[in-house]
Amino acid sequence: MIAHTPTLFACVALVATIMAFCLILVGQFNQRDGLLTIGCGLLAHALAYVGYTFYGHAPLWFTYGAANTLLAVALAFYGASVFRIVELPVSWWRVFAPAALMLLLMVGLIDTLEPRMLAATLVLMVQCALIIYWTRRYVPALGRARMLLIIGSSISLIGLGMRVVAVLGGGAAEMRYDVSNLKQTISVSIGTFTAMMISLGLVLLSKERSESLLRHMALRDVLTGILNRRAILDQFSTELERARRDGSCLAVAMVDIDHFKQINDRYGHLAGDEVICHCVNHLTRRLRQSDSIGRYGGEEFLLLLPGTDSEGAIAALDTLRASLAESPAYYGDSTISLRISIGVCCGVPDEGDTTASLLARADAALYEAKGLGRNTLRLAPPYFQPSEAPLSSA
């Protein structure tokens, strides 16, 4: 089926204009989600196709030179949208360099046929290839948007490649924008389809990014950025099941900042927040990648050390306790010394162990440590062993 080429261009321009209007309208309220940039790209896309629609009925500089430059600008905006959505800085000169090159080529080659068609098509192909590269490099692999962007840009490369082959084969006249034939219908249809796929892929990427940020916020403590209570308990359940399945040790530590109320009373609550953040940063920098830390309460933290026996847990945690005692926090002109007490429960969990029971044992050991003068580590005794556990203090 052969479609009327100018009519195809006009339909695409209409659809792109409607989508651009919607995205620009909603994108103004939150420019960080990239919707405004996508809308600008669609608007440039629509204007380009308006120019194509009037090919043969208006000056060539407008229907070909300006139109192709606008299409290059649209692809540049799509590329910039990838960076905006994933919250990376946009190198505007790099993104829009192909569009600037397109403008220069159109000015210099506007009075030719084959050279200007080849130049315009090759620049657009480079831009599609850049979108694929940026998508593969910066967009998370586990997402539907990534697939849409790569597939859409790849199909666009195929459609543009068809135009290159036709021009090199002597069929440049058959690929004029005012000619309706099967090759032109297929080429324009591919371009239309991929333009919609790329723009929808970017909108979906923005949606996936927003959902990811919401999930992150739901699982993270607002002040410190570490796992919140709900998230660390979920992680605890996962680590407990893994240790039980593998028959490996799991160390569970409850950490509490000593005399935190006195810090708040003396220096103020903002200083208390700074002390909490300082403590968290100190601990996280010294934990292994496999370890987990979460904020369990106001100044209380839960640490999970998988694959760690009691000896290793005592050595690692007591080193943390001692090093933090030598690393004061700073707030304004004040130097705030801080100490922590630690209660540890360690062993190979069996079927009777639960997160609640292990937490209770670690918490009991913590209160023993605080009762022994604070700035102390206490190891909870194993099951069925009434003897006192080792003690470590400053």
Does 266 lie in the same domain as 199? no
pLDDT of residue 187: 74
Spatial separation of the C-alpha atoms in residues 6 and 340, rounded to whole Å: 74
Contacts by 291-294, CB closer than 8 A, 24 or more apart: 292/227, 292/232, 292/235, 292/236, 292/239, 293/226, 293/227, 293/232, 294/221, 294/226, 294/227, 294/228, 294/229, 294/231, 294/232, 294/233, 294/235
Cα–Cα–Cα angle for 323, 326, 327, rounded to 5 degrees: 90
Does 82 lie in the same domain as 57? yes
Domain boundary among 163, 183, 218: 218
Does 202 lie in the same domain as 258? no
Query: How many structural domains is the chain composed of?
Result: 2
- What is the C-alpha R_g of the chain? 31
pLDDT of residue 389: 45
User: Does the pLDDT of residue 44 top 50, yes or no?
Assistant: yes
Residue 362 lies in a domain: yes
Phi, psi (rounded to 5 degrees) for 281: -60, -40
Does 342 lie in the same domain as 278? yes
Does 371 lie in the same domain as 293? yes
Residue 175 lies in a domain: yes
Does 138 lie in the same domain as 88? yes
pLDDT of residue 387: 41
Spatial separation of the C-alpha atoms in residues 359 and 344, rounded to whole Å: 9
Spatial separation of the C-alpha atoms in residues 245 and 264, rounded to whole Å: 43
Residue 223 lies in a domain: no
Q: Which of the four pLDDT bands, split at 50, 70 and 90, describes residue 135?
A: very high
User: Does the pLDDT of residue 100 top 70, yes or no?
Assistant: yes
**Portion of the chain with pLDDT greater than 70, in percent:** 96
- Mean pLDDT across the stretch 226-239? 93
| Residues 327-381 pLDDT 10s | 999 998 899 999 999 999 999 988 888 999 999 999 999 999 998 889 999 999 8
pLDDT of residue 192: 75
Spatial separation of the C-alpha atoms in residues 376 and 318, rounded to whole Å: 8
Does 268 lie in the same domain as 205? no
Position with higher pLDDT, 199 vs 195: 199
Does 233 lie in the same domain as 183? no
Burial (CB count within 10 angstroms: exposed 0-12, middle 13-18, buried 19+), residue 183: middle
pLDDT of residue 356: 93
User: Does the pLDDT of residue 106 top 60, yes or no?
Assistant: yes
Q: Classify 169 as helix, strand or coil.
A: coil
Spatial separation of the C-alpha atoms in residues 138 and 335, rounded to whole Å: 41
Give yes or no for a contact between 355 and 237, defined as CB atoms under 8 angstroms apart: yes
- Single-letter code of the amino acid located at 214: L
Spatial separation of the C-alpha atoms in residues 132 and 74, rounded to whole Å: 15
Q: Classify 254 as helix, strand or coil.
A: strand
The residue segments making up the domain with residue 254 are 229-393
User: Does the pLDDT of residue 323 top 50, yes or no?
Assistant: yes
Assign residue 77 the CATH number of its domain: 1.20.1070
Contacts by 262-266, CB closer than 8 A, 24 or more apart: 263/336, 263/338
Q: What stretches of 63-143 show up as alpha helix (H) in DSSP?
A: 67-85, 92-109, 114-138
User: Does the pLDDT of residue 17 top 80, yes or no?
Assistant: yes
Domain boundary among 218, 248, 263: 218
Assign residue 246 the CATH number of its domain: 3.30.70.270
Does 142 lie in the same domain as 11? yes
pLDDT of residue 1: 65
Least confident range of 214-218, 274-278, 337-341: 214-218
- Mean pLDDT across the stretch 188-200? 80
Q: Classify 247 as helix, strand or coil.
A: coil
Phi, psi (rounded to 5 degrees) for 255: -120, 135
Residue 86 lies in a domain: yes
- Mean pLDDT across the stretch 33-37? 85
- What H or E segment, with its residue span, contains residue 18? helix 5-27
Nearest partner of 125 among 155, 84, 89, 166, judged by Cα: 155
Residue 224 lies in a domain: no
Does 86 lie in the same domain as 40? yes
User: Does the pLDDT of residue 385 top 70, yes or no?
Assistant: no
- Mean pLDDT across the stretch 41-59? 91
How many Cα atoms occupy the beta-carbon half-sphere of 25 within 13 Å? 6
Please, which residues bridge with residue 336 across strands? 329
pLDDT of residue 105: 95
- What average pLDDT does the structure give for the chain? 88
Domain boundary among 160, 185, 218: 218
pLDDT of residue 242: 93
Q: Classify 340 as helix, strand or coil.
A: strand
Nearest partner of 38 among 151, 197, 146, 213, judged by Cα: 197
Does 102 lie in the same domain as 81? yes
Does 197 lie in the same domain as 320? no
- Mean pLDDT across the stretch 214-227? 87
User: Does the pLDDT of residue 383 top 70, yes or no?
Assistant: no
